[in-house]
C-alpha cells in the first residue's frame, strides 16, 4: 500500500487541496491517527490546506530568477491578471529551471516569466500536454546505440562484486551531489553490512538555486541512472531501489518512468535480472517539496512518512537507513558515471579528464551568461573555459564574481577564472565545487543583494528543527534588510552568528546558510553598502 505522503500527494492532485473531510477519510482508510496527517501536511510547502483560487501559477523568487528580473516580471504578471479570480500567483523557492530564468510553472508546464504575453498564453494552455523536449547526446553515455545498453550490468553479473567496488575505488569517482565522498568507499561500507534487506536510493531532489544538471541527466540519460542503481544494488546486496525525485520535475519523472519500462522489457530489472539469481527493481517516490530533503537523512524521514527533519549522525544511512536497514544513497550524476567506469575501467575514467585530473563533470551554468544551460566538461577545465563554453558574459559585460558550486558556495572574484574545475583546486581557492553549479555575476550587480538572496533562500527552506538555524537565518536577513546594508558592527555580529550556526546546526543547511553572504563581505568589501 502507498505510504501516507504519497496518498496525500494523490489526494491533493485529485481535489486541488487537502480538506479536513479528505484528511479524516484518508486517516480512516489508512488506519492512522489524524494527527499524523496533520503533522506532515503542515510541514511540506507543497501541500495546500486551503482551496486554491483556480489555476496556481508558481513563480520562482530565488537568486538566478531574481537576477533575471523575476520580481518585476512577477509584478507585471499580477497587474495583467488584476481582476481575475481564476488564477493565483504564488512565489516559491527554486523550481530547478535556472537556465530559463525568470522561471514560472503551471502544473507540469514551465515557461519564461519575463515575457508576460507568453505567461498569459501558458495560462490558456494549462490543460494541454506540455511540448516534448529534444534529447541531447552526451559523451558521458558509453553506449552509441540503445541496443547496447546495460552491457556493464550484463558483464558485472558474472563477476565478484568486490572486484567491481575495487574498480570504482581505483577510479577515484567522488559523489557529485555536493559532499564529494569517495563513491567506491561508500559502496564498500554498505556491502560490508550483514543485513539481508538493503536499499539503493537515487537522490534526485535537486533543489538548490543554480543547480539543475541532474534534471538534464534524468531527461537524456535515465537508462544510465537505472543501470547505475542496478550495479550499485548488485555490489552492495540490495534488492530494492527508489528514485527520490522532486515534484517539480514531472517531465523528467515521465522520462524516467518510460526508461524503467524499457529496462524491464530488456530484462535489466525484475526477479531474475538477465536470467541470473540477482533480483532488483526500482520504484519512484515523489517528494512533497523542500530543499532540506536533499540531505540524505531528511530524505529518509520523508520516505518513512514523517516530517523531513535531519537525523543525528552517526549512525549513517549506510548502516541504519531506510526502515532501519543499510541504505546506499547516491545522487543522479554519481550513478550515471558509475556505468562507464564499470564498463570500461578506472583508466577510461581517468582519461576523461585533463592531464593531472580524472573524469568529467556535468556543470549547471546560469546567471549573467549568454547561454545558460548544462555542459559536460573534463575535470581540469578552468572556470574561464566553462564561461566561454556558455558564450561568455551576456552582452559582453565584465565578470564581477562567480559561485562555482551553487548557491551554498563562496563567491570568488573574477581573477579566479583560471581555477580548474576540481574538488581540491576550488577548495584551495576558497570555495567548493559542490554539486557543480556555476553562477556568474556581472559587474554592476549589487553583490550584497545577490548574497542576501541566497541567505533568504536558506531562511525560507530551514526545516525549523534546529533553533540556531531557524532563528539565526531569520535574524541575519533582518539585520541586513533593516539597515539597508552592513556596517562594521553588524558584519562582526553576522560572523559571530555564522560561527554559532556552524557549531550547533544539525545539518549542512544551517552550517552554510550565511557563508555566501559573508564571502561577499570578505572578498568585495568596497562593493558593500555601509549605512551610517
pLDDT tens, position by position, 162-183? 999 999 999 999 999 888 899 9
Q: Given a cut of 90, is residue 67 above it in pLDDT?
A: yes
- Quick one: which of 482, 476, 487 has its CA closest to 452? 476
Question: pLDDT tens-digit profile of 312-347?
Answer: 999 999 999 999 999 999 999 999 999 999 999 999
Evaluate if pTM is beyond 0.85: yes
Per-residue pLDDT tens over the stretch 286-322: 999 899 999 999 999 999 999 999 999 999 999 999 9
pLDDT of 117 reads: 86
Mean pLDDT of 488-507: 93
Strands (E), 87-194: 87-92, 103-106, 109-112
**Phi, psi (rounded to 5 degrees) for 124:** -70, -25
pLDDT at 400: 97
What local confidence, expressed as pLDDT, does residue 127 receive? 65
As a whole number, mean pLDDT of residues 6-16 equals 93
* Percent of the chain with pLDDT strictly greater than 70: 99
What structural domains does the chain harbor? 4-41 (no CATH), 55-124 (3.40.30.10), 149-348 (3.40.50.11540), 360-442 (3.10.20.600), 447-527 (1.20.1440.230)
Q: Which three cell numbers stand for residue 485?
A: 546594508
What was the pLDDT predicted at 447?
A: 95
- What mean pLDDT, rounded, does the chain reach? 94
The Cα–Cα gap between 357 and 183 comes to 17
Quote the pLDDT of residue 323: 96
Task: Name the residue among 381, 492, 494, 400 with its Cα closest to residue 441.
Answer: 400
- How far is 149 from 131, CA to CA, in rounded Å? 27
As a whole number of angstroms, the distance between CA 326 and CA 199 comes to 7
Q: What is the pLDDT of residues 106-136, one digit of tens each?
A: 888 888 898 888 888 877 776 677 778 899 9
| Strands of the sheet with 437-442, listed across from one edge | 373-378, 360-367, 437-442, 399-403, 412-413
pLDDT of 62 > 80? The answer is yes
Q: Are 328 and 200 in contact (CB under 8 A)?
A: yes
DSSP 294: G
Amino acid at each position: 500500500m502507498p505510504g501516507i505522503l504519497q496518498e496525500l500527494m494523490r489526494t491533493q492532485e485529485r481535489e486541488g487541496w487537502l480538506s479536513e473531510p479528505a484528511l479524516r477519510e484518508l486517516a480512516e482508510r489508512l488506519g492512522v491517527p489524524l494527527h499524523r496527517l496533520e503533522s506532515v501536511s503542515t510541514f511540506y510547502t507543497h501541500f495546500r490546506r486551503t482551496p486554491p483560487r483556480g489555476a496556481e501559477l508558481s513563480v520562482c523568487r530565488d537568486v538566478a530568477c531574481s537576477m533575471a528580473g523575476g520580481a518585476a516580471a512577477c509584478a507585471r504578471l499580477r497587474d495583467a491578471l488584476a481582476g481575475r479570480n481564476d488564477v493565483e500567483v504564488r512565489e516559491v523557492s527554486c523550481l530547478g529551471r535556472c537556465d530559463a530564468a525568470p522561471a514560472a510553472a503551471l502544473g507540469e508546464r514551465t515557461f519564461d516569466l519575463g515575457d508576460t504575453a507568453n505567461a498569459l498564453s501558458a495560462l490558456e494552455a494549462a490543460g494541454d500536454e506540455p511540448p516534448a523536449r529534444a534529447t541531447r547526446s552526451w559523451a558521458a553515455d558509453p553506449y552509441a546505440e540503445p541496443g547496447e545498453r546495460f552491457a556493464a550490468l550484463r558483464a558485472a553479473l558474472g563477476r565478484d562484486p568486490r572486484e567491481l567496488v575495487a574498480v570504482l575505488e581505483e577510479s577515484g569517482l567522488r559523489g557529485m551531489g555536493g559532499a564529494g565522498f569517495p563513491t567506491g568507499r561508500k559502496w564498500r561500507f554498505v556491502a560490508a553490512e550483514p543485513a539481508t534487506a538493503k536499499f539503493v536510493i537515487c537522490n534526485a531532489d535537486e533543489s538548490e538555486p543554480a543547480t539543475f544538471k541532474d534534471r538534464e541527466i534524468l531527461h537524456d540519460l535515465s537508462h544510465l541512472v537505472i543501470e547505475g542503481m542496478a550495479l550499485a544494488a548488485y555490489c552492495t546486496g540490495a534488492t530494492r531501489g527508489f528514485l527520490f525525485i522532486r515534484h517539480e520535475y514531472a517531465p523528467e519523472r515521465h522520462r524516467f518512468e518510460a526508461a524503467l519500462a524499457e529496462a524491464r522489457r530488456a530484462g535489466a530489472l525484475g526477479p531474475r535480472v538477465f536470467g541470473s539469481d540477482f533480483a532488483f527493481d526500482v520504484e519512484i517516490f515523489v517528494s512533497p517539496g523542500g530543499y532540506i530533503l536533499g540531505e540524505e537523512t531528511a530524505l529518509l524521514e520523508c520516505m518513512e512518512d514523517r516530517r523531513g527533519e535531519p537525523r543525528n549522525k552517526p549512525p549513517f544511512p549506510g548502516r541504519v537507513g531506510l526502515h532501519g536497514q543499510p541504505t546506499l544513497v547516491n545522487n543522479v550524476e554519481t550513478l550515471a558515471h558509475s556505468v562507464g567506469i564499470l564498463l570500461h575501467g578506472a583508466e577510461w575514467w581517468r582519461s576523461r579528464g585533463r592531464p593531472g585530473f580524472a573524469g568529467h563533470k556535468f556543470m549547471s551554468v546560469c546567471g549573467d551568461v549568454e547561454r545558460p544551460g548544462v555542459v559536460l566538461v573534463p575535470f581540469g577545465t578552468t572556470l574561464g573555459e566553462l564561461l566561454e563554453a556558455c558564450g561568455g558574459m551576456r552582452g559582453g559585460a565584465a565578470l564581477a564574481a562567480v559561485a562555482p558550486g551553487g548557491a551554498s558556495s563562496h563567491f570568488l572574484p573574477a581573477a579566479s577564472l583560471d581555477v580548474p574545475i576540481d574538488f581540491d583546486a576550488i577548495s584551495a581557492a576558497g570555495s567548493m565545487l559542490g554539486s557543480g553549479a556555476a553562477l556568474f555575476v556581472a559587474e554592476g550587480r549589487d553583490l550584497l543583494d545577490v548574497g542576501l538572496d541566497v541567505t533568504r533562500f536558506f531562511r525560507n527552506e530551514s526545516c525549523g528543527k534546529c533553533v540556531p538555524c531557524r532563528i539565526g537565518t531569520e535574524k541575519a536577513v533582518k539585520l541586513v534588510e533593516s539597515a539597508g546594508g552592513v556596517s562594521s558592527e553588524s558584519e562582526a555580529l553576522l560572523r559571530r552568528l555564522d560561527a554559532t550556526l556552524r557549531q550547533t546546526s544539525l545539518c549542512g543547511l544551517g552550517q552554510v546558510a550565511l557563508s555566501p553572504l559573508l564571502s561577499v563581505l570578505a572578498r568585495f568589501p568596497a562593493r558593500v553598502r555601509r549605512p551610517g
